[in-house]
């Protein structure tokens, strides 16, 4: 896989596929405000490296799911403004994807300048299942550049015009972020230092069956929290009240539990949970043992004894991967399980990987020191598919 160091970029137009799919909120004055600029910051080293070598940087990214329509609330204009602040230089913003505004913005670039094209998903061809349609958009994007750099790890698991098709049309390389992500995940999948522990959370077991099946072949410990733990608890014969439960997955989970035992994988499940009468921060809530969840109560976090148990299971690990929160961390009464696990991982003496998505968001929301982790992934879905052992189209095309 080539890196940006292998590309001749001086005075050339470099199309960089970034992941600027950042959360926005109404600012109250008719504009939209970015609430977490982590993904923008993650792309800065590559952008700065290219600028420093005299490249004319053309950024392409998506925001949300506009489904081929130009929706003002999903414009990348706030991203261009924030990026300009972070770079300390104006960022030209094109109000279309490959049309007159994009062409003018690119034509106006000098060496070291940066332009951002409007939300690429405003064009329905970006996510089309028709390769010819994607190819047509890719050709238009390629006409704006001389070389291509893949820096949007959050989309490398997608076969999309700006991710895979344009890479086939231009000399290409991996940006620093994508390269570091690939190196980290190949390390944990191929040759992890042991003990090797994986912490899985989030809402649904069904979303992570492929990951669990693959990890059971290599991990030493698997810790399960979040909403998905209740299907495991039900598989062990516990009542789960009104907690999130995928009843159709109980038999599958019984098989996973049996496989873990057969492979000698230590499966760590909560021993107590925080339950509430409703999905609300203001609802009545209490801590109960996992065999004492009453009807009408729903589990929304792992309990204090479980926090201690999970921290102990991580204490001597040399490799840890964490994907998915332990509870509804956005609500203060149900955030402590996620906080405890995150803080335990920061004390790991070895490689610690936060698998993007909600886990990365939780780290920032809860104010956990990001420097305490070896690597925080920018791609939730991409990191999951990597952990499943799948071939990611946006990575495979860079290796051609």
Average of per-residue pLDDT across 56-75: 96
Binding residues: 19-21, 39, 62-65, 121, 158, 208, 299, 330, 356-359
In the chain, alpha helices (H):
38-52, 77-87, 100-107, 131-142, 176-190, 209-215, 229-235, 250-263, 304-314, 336-346, 357-365, 380-388, 393-396
Residue of 324, 357, 379, 380 marked catalytic: 357
**Confidence (pLDDT) at 177:** 95
Residue of 32, 204, 364, 390 marked catalytic: 204
Percentage of residues in the chain with pLDDT exceeding 90? Answer: 88
Residue of 39, 51, 56, 307 marked catalytic: 39
Query: Under 8 Å CB-to-CB from 190, ≥6 apart: which residues?
Result: none
Average of per-residue pLDDT across 24-53: 92
227 noted as active-site residue: no
Binding residues for substrate: 19-21, 39, 62-65, 121, 158
Q: Is the pTM of this model over 0.95?
A: no
Residue of 68, 239, 372, 381 marked catalytic: 381
Q: What is the band of 357 on the pLDDT scale with cuts at 50, 70, 90?
A: confident
Summarize pLDDT for 193-249 with one digit per residue, the tens: 999 999 999 888 898 888 999 999 999 999 999 999 999 999 999 999 999 999 999
Average of per-residue pLDDT across 15-30: 92
221 noted as active-site residue: no
Is the per-residue pLDDT at 53 higher than 80? yes
- Comparing 123-137, 265-279, 378-392, the range with the smallest average pLDDT is 378-392
**Average pLDDT for the chain:** 95
204 noted as active-site residue: yes
**Confidence (pLDDT) at 125:** 98
381 noted as active-site residue: yes
**Confidence (pLDDT) at 355:** 87
Q: What is the band of 296 on the pLDDT scale with cuts at 50, 70, 90?
A: very high
Binding residues for ATP: 208, 299, 330, 356-359
Q: What is the band of 381 on the pLDDT scale with cuts at 50, 70, 90?
A: confident
Q: Please give the angle made by the CA atoms of 212, 353 and 397, to the nearest 5 degrees.
A: 75
d(CA 16, CA 139): 15
The structure tokens listed for 211 are 């990951």
Pairing of strands 298-302, 272-276: antiparallel
| DSSP symbol at 290 | T
Summarize pLDDT for 313-328 with one digit per residue, the tens: 999 999 999 999 999 9
């Amino acid at each position: 896989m080539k890196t940006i160091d292998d590309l001749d970029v001086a005075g050339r137009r470099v199309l960089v596929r970034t992941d600027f799919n950042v959360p926005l909120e109404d600012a109250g004055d008719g504009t939209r405000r970015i609430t977490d600029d982590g993904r923008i910051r993650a792309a800065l080293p590559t952008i700065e490296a290219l600028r420093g070598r005299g490249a004319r940087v053309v950024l392409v990214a998506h925001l949300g799911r506009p489904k081929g329509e130009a929706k003002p609330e999903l414009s990348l204009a706030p991203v261009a403004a924030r990026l300009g602040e972070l770079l300390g230089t104006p960022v030209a913003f094109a109000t279309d994807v490959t049309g007159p505004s994009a062409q003018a913005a690119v034509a106006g670039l000098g060496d070291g300048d940066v332009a951002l094209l409007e939300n690429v998903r405003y064009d329905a061809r970006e996510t089309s299942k028709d390769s010819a349609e994607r190819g047509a958009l890719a050709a238009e994007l390629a006409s704006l550049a001389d070389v291509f750099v893949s820096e949007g790890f959050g989309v490398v698991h997608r076969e999309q015009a700006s991710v895979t098709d344009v890479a086939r049309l231009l000399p290409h390389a991996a940006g620093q972020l994508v390269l570091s992500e690939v190196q980290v995940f190949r390390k944990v999948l191929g040759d992890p230092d042991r003990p090797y522990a994986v912490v899985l959370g989030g809402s649904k077991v069904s979303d992570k069956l492929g990951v669990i099946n693959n990890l059971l072949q290599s991990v030493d410990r698997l810790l399960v929290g979040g909403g998905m733990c209740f299907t495991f608890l039900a598989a062990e014969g516990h009542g789960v009240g009104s907690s999130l439960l995928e009843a159709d997955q109980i038999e599958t989970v019984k098989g996973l539990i049996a496989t873990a035992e057969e492979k000698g994988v230590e499966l760590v499940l909560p021993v107590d949970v925080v339950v509430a009468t409703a999905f609300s921060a203001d609802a009545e809530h209490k801590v109960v043992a996992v065999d004492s969840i009453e009807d009408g109560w729903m589990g929304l976090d792992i309990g204090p004894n479980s926090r201690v148990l999970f921290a102990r299971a991580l204490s001597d690990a040399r490799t840890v991967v964490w994907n998915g929160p332990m509870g509804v961390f956005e609500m203060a009464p149900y955030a402590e399980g996620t906080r405890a696990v995150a803080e335990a991982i920061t004390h790991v003496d070895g490689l610690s990987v936060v698998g993007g998505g909600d886990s990365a968001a939780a780290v920032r929301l809860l104010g956990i020191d990001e420097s305490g982790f070896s690597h925080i992934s920018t791609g939730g879905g991409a990191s999951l598919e990597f952990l499943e052992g799948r071939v990611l189209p946006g990575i495979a095309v860079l290796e051609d």
